[in-house]
């Protein structure tokens, strides 16, 4: 190709056009940091422990003996995170700043709590055991490969959930199932947890080898059935929301296959589920079924009362609420003072739990963290969509969106505001976004400006004949 040149000048005026090739970008020194790499290994084990609830299983099987395995792993991970600069990598992201604001507002609300010592204990536990996970995940997970490993660790935790649920679940009189021990012993909490972890199992099915796919499909089916046997009506509504999102995003043959498979799976579940559980689900739309199931009626009336009371507490204490973890005590004391029988229960909605216990500002920070995290995950999925090298990463972001939709819908019916689940999702979204940005810079380096005529000669404006 002949270049256009200035007469009498050896310097070409050809504009450099960026070629579609992979550039060699300098490696982030933090990736090779030995402390960070050790911390990442601890992080993988920590994720498996927490999502698989392995530490609680060991406690149960060893006769209520604490092995301190979670405490040791968490301490090592947070120590490595702080020593390797994780605070800076974490709080440069907006979702983490929302959570930091929520953490400090919890502290302010604790100062005005109706029971300061109990709220202080909750705040310290939240900081040490739950908020720390945000810093650990977002600060120690640096590359796309490491993000995939964390996702597979969550999926492995989902396998543990299904095994524990299948082996250690027991039926109660109304046909519902519950676990004998642990943080997710409650049927509704277990259903919400499954809604979070099963999308990661789906990711493993879509990206791993055939043997793993076969195991993953079994885990998905068993997990869905176990979720159905919890008879959690909130879990059912959340699962329908996830299904609607999948159908909305699916196209062509995939959507058709889903529309064919869903009725078949539903029919199989209806055949296998006990009549008591089917009758409980029927209370969502059938008044006769609702009247026949007295337990469902009492549960609905109790939840309605607690929702109304939590809204009243929010309006009475709009700035700081009644104090973190103090809704049940405040409701009970108020009811007794009025000569009524108090429920002494949590609000059964994470959103009103936050508003009634930390005030409206706390709810704003809480919702801000959730929505900014979902927006970040969605932006990662969009950026990976048309990049063949990042197809797997795009699938991970999509599955994270399913996880967030299911869990955030489920906690509208549960008091799980102060657990690690949402903080993990935010930390993972930050790590995934950072890793994808590095890969996009490597695959599609920024366009360089045109080369000047000469480093020694200035470029003059074009000469026009008058």
Please count the residues of the chain.
466
Can you give the residue range of the structural domain that contains 75? 32-440
What is the reported pLDDT for 120?
Answer: 96
What is the reported pLDDT for 365?
Answer: 98
Q: Give a yes or no: residue 37 inside a domain.
A: yes
Q: Give a yes or no: residue 399 inside a domain.
A: yes
Q: Give a yes or no: residue 5 inside a domain.
A: no
Q: Give a yes or no: residue 93 inside a domain.
A: yes
- Whole-model pTM? 0.87
What is the reported pLDDT for 339?
Answer: 80
Q: Give a yes or no: residue 374 inside a domain.
A: yes
Mean pLDDT of the chain, nearest integer: 86
What is the reported pLDDT for 317?
Answer: 94
Q: Give a yes or no: residue 23 inside a domain.
A: no
Whole-angstrom distance, CA of residue 65 vs CA of residue 240: 40
Q: Give a yes or no: residue 370 inside a domain.
A: yes
Structural domain count of the chain: 1
What is the reported pLDDT for 252?
Answer: 87
What is the reported pLDDT for 19?
Answer: 41
Q: Which residues of the chain have pLDDT under 70?
A: 1-27, 168-175, 286-296, 445-466
Q: Give a yes or no: residue 448 inside a domain.
A: no
């Amino acid at each position: 190709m002949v270049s256009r040149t200035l007469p009498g000048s050896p310097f070409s005026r050809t504009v450099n056009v960026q070629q579609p090739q992979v550039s060699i970008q300098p490696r982030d020194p933090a990736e090779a940091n030995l402390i960070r790499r050790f911390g990442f290994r601890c992080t993988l084990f920590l994720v498996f422990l927490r999502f698989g609830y392995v530490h609680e299983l060991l406690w149960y099987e060893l006769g209520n003996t604490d092995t301190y395995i979670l405490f040791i792993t968490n301490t090592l991970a947070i120590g490595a995170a702080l020593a390797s600069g994780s605070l800076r990598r974490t709080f440069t992201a907006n979702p983490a700043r929302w959570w930091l604001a929520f953490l400090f507002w919890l502290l302010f609300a604790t100062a005005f709590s109706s029971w300061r010592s109990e709220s202080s204990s909750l705040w310290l536990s939240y900081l040490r055991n739950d908020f720390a996970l945000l810093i650990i995940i977002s600060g120690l997970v640096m590359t796309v490969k490491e993000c995939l490993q964390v996702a597979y660790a969550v999926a492995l935790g989902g396998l543990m959930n299904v095994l524990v649920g299948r082996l250690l679940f027991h039926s109660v009189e109304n046909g519902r199932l519950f676990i004998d021990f642990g943080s997710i012993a409650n049927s509704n909490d277990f259903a919400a947890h499954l809604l979070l972890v099963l999308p990661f199992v789906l990711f493993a099915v879509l990206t791993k080898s055939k043997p793993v796919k076969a195991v993953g499909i079994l885990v998905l089916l068993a997990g869905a059935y176990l979720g159905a046997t919890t008879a959690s009506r909130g879990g059912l509504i959340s699962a329908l929301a996830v299904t609607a999102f999948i159908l909305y995003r699916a196209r062509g043959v995939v959507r058709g296959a889903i529309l064919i498979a869903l009725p078949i799976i539903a029919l199989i579940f209806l055949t296998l589920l006990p009549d008591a559980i089917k009758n409980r689900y029927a209370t969502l739309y059938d008044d006769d079924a609702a009247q026949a199931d007295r337990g469902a009626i009492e549960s609905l009336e109790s939840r309605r009362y607690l929702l109304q009371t939590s809204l009243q507490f929010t309006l009475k204490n709009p700035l700081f609420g009644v104090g973190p973890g103090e809704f049940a005590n405040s409701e009970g004391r108020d009811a007794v003072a009025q000569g009524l029988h108090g429920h002494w229960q949590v609000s059964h909605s994470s959103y009103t739990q936050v508003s009634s216990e930390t005030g409206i500002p706390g709810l704003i920070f809480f919702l801000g963290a959730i929505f900014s995290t979902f927006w970040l995950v969605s932006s990662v999925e969009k950026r990976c969509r048309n990049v063949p090298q990042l197809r797997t990463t795009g699938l991970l972001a999509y599955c994270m969106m399913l996880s967030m939709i299911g869990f955030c819908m489920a906690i509208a019916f549960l008091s799980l505001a102060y657990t690690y689940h949402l903080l993990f999702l935010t930390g993972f979204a930050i790590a995934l976004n950072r890793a994808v940005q590095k890969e996009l810079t490597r695959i599609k380096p920024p366009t360089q400006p045109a080369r000047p005529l000469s480093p020694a000669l200035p470029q003059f404006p074009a000469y026009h004949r008058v």
